[in-house]
Structure formats: C-alpha cells, structure tokens
C-alpha cells in the first residue's frame, strides 16, 4: 500500500520546489546538488515527486541498468507494430516539404502565417489540425492566402504531439520526404514563454532559414532532424518525470538504454525532419487512449515523453539530430546544457 503523504512532507515539497526553480545555478550544478541531498537526506524527501523523478532518472542513466528490472517500466510497455516501411530516398534534390501545424491559439496561428514568406507557399503543403471550434476560422484564413492545405479537426489531447501523429500517415501517403513540425506554443507557465516561441519561429520559419535547412538535408543524407539553434538539450539533464516511458521506448526500438546519455532532443518539439527519422516512432502505433486528457500538466505525460522520443526514433533509424547553425565543414551541434526556457 502506498504510504500516505503527511502535511509536513507536502510543505517540504512546496518549499523545495520554489527554492529549486529560483536557484541561480546551471543544470549540471543542480544535478550534483540533487545527488548529494537525495543520497544523504532521503528520509526527508522520500515521498516527494522531486525525489521519485531523481531516483527513476538515476536508474535510467546508470549504464549498468540495461538488463536490470525497473518496476516503473511495467506501466509502459511499447511494441513496434510495423505500420510503415521506411520510404525510399529519392536521388533528385528535395525542393518542397510538408508543414504540419497544430493550432490551439488562433492569434499565434496568424503569427506563424505572417512569418512564412508567401513566395514559398507554392513549395509547401500545409497539414493543419485544431479543435473543431476553430475549423471555420482557420480554413477561411488559409483560403485567403491561397495555401495548399488539408485540415483536420482533432481534440487538444496530447498537446501538439498526438495531432502530429494522427496527421503523419497522410503526409507519408502524399509522398513528402521532409516535414516541418510547428505549433502555436505559448508556455503560459513561463514568464519568457513568448520569447521562446519567437526565437524558435525566427530560426525555423524565415525564408532564408527554410532554404538553408532544405539545402542541409540535400547535402547531408545522414541528418534526420534539424532543430532551432539554442534549443537542443541533453536528454540526461532534462528527462524530468519521463524516464520510465523513455526506457520503454528504447526497449521497443531495441536501442541500448545507455545510449540515452549521448542523445539530445529539441526542447519545444518544433523542428524539421526526414520522414525516415520518424518511422520507428510511428510504428509504435500510439492512439488517443495512450495520451492523458489535457489538465495543464507541466511534465510527465505521454506528450512530454514523445517530445524526447523523437530523437530516439531518429537515432534508431540511423540518422542524427543537428541544429540550424550546423555547418557542413565544422559538423558540430551546439548543445545547450542550461536551457534558459525549459526547467
């Protein structure tokens, strides 16, 4: 039976959380502090989510644990269903791509459309999803701009992740090799959430950026995902309360769990990707019931886990993740170990 959490423990948890998020230290320093405090004073924090997340993550990123049992994994058993074969890579250069957008904030949808130069619309096809209440307004705006699009009414469950997974089969059917995944990010829980969104849009949606990224894919067949510079972060520093699902994903993909220590992901889940990089993830066949109802959760949901699993999928497909500043001569990805937006 699960131990009842006392009022004292709840107070300790709240005080600790407030203190922690306002501590002026980087991620590596905080991890060292957590290891010391939770190792020597476990009796104080034993029943807090803070401690449980640390313990689960410690197990996950210990390279000795690949063949050990972790009770938390029993709740998350993923199996590959081989729904899609990896599409062939065409020899000719790619000059068009699919734009997959999930809309939850209409005013930010307008911001997205204003960022994309109308001159490139002819090389794009938009796959737009939103709650059904926005259907008419969204389609009116797309029609006014003479954009080639398909619209899908999808509930706001799984944030931008589940709608993306639902739309991707049509993108594959239409033969696109490259997709841009974008959404109307607000991050209302953060004071600088708007800054985060604007920085990502600037690096992904400008005409010059689109051209550069497309050239990058054409010149580097080993690239699977391109994320915005400054938003590529290490999984082992930002696993949060998602470690059990990340382990289940690795097991389903037959990817050694210890490889997570060397993987990074795109914070905010907005990026360009080859379809091949997403096939392993799509072959999990995740459905609506696999995602929690939307309750404003800040971490620990299926959506948060898949945000990180995109990178595992690309790795499984033998492709790599880079950023928009990636240079063919340098071939270096700039990893942000202390992301100023994500906690």
**Which H/E stretch holds residue 183?**
strand 178-183
pTM of the model: 0.80
pLDDT at 241: 77
Low-confidence ranges of the chain (pLDDT < 70): 1-28, 30-31, 34-35, 38-43, 45-76, 89-91, 187-193, 328, 338-343
> Would you list the domain boundaries of the chain?
7-73, 97-323
pLDDT of residue 226: 97
Q: Which CATH class is domain 97-323?
A: alpha beta
C-alpha distances in Å from residue 26, one per residue of 21, 33, 57, 123, 339: 11, 11, 18, 42, 9
Question: Token match 């604007």: residue?
Answer: 198
Give the per-residue pLDDT at 2.
Answer: 37
Q: What pLDDT is attached to residue 334?
A: 82
pLDDT of the residue at 51: 61
How confident is the model at residue 4, as a pLDDT? 47
Q: Are 290 and 103 in contact (CB under 8 A)?
A: no
Contact 213, 325 (CB under 8 A): no
């Amino acid at each position: 039976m699960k131990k009842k959490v006392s009022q004292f423990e709840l107070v300790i948890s709240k005080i600790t959380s407030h203190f922690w998020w306002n501590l002026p230290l980087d991620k590596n320093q905080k991890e060292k502090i957590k290891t010391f405090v939770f190792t020597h004073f476990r009796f104080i924090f034993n029943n807090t989510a803070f401690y449980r997340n640390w313990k689960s993550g410690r197990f996950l990123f210990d390279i000795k644990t690949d063949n050990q049992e972790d009770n938390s994994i029993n709740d998350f058993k993923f199996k590959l269903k081989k729904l899609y074969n990896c599409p062939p890579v065409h020899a000719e250069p790619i000059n068009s791509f699919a734009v997959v957008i999930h809309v939850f904030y209409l005013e930010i949808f307008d911001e997205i459309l204003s960022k994309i130069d109308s001159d490139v619309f002819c090389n794009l096809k938009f796959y737009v999803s939103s709650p059904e209440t926005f259907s008419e307004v969204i389609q009116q705006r797309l029609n006014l701009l003479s954009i080639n699009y398909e619209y899908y009414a999808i509930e706001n469950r799984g944030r931008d992740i589940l709608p993306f997974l639902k739309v991707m089969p049509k993108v594959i059917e239409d033969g696109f090799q490259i997709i841009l995944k974008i959404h109307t990010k607000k991050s209302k829980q953060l004071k600088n959430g708007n800054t985060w969104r604007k920085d990502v849009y600037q690096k992904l949606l400008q005409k010059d950026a689109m051209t550069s990224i497309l050239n990058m894919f054409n010149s580097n067949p080993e690239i699977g995902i391109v994320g915005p510079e400054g938003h590529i972060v290490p999984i082992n520093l930002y696993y949060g309360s998602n470690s059990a699902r990340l382990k289940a994903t690795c097991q389903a993909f037959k990817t050694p769990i210890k490889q997570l220590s060397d993987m990074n992901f795109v914070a905010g889940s907005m990026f360009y990707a080859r379809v091949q990089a997403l096939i392993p993830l799509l072959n999990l066949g995740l459905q609506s019931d696999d995602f929690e109802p939307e309750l404003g959760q800040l971490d620990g949901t299926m959506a948060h886990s898949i945000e990180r699993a995109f990178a595992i999928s690309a790795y499984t497909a033998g492709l790599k993740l880079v950023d928009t500043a990636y240079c063919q001569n340098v071939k270096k990805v700039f990893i942000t170990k202390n992301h100023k937006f994500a906690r």
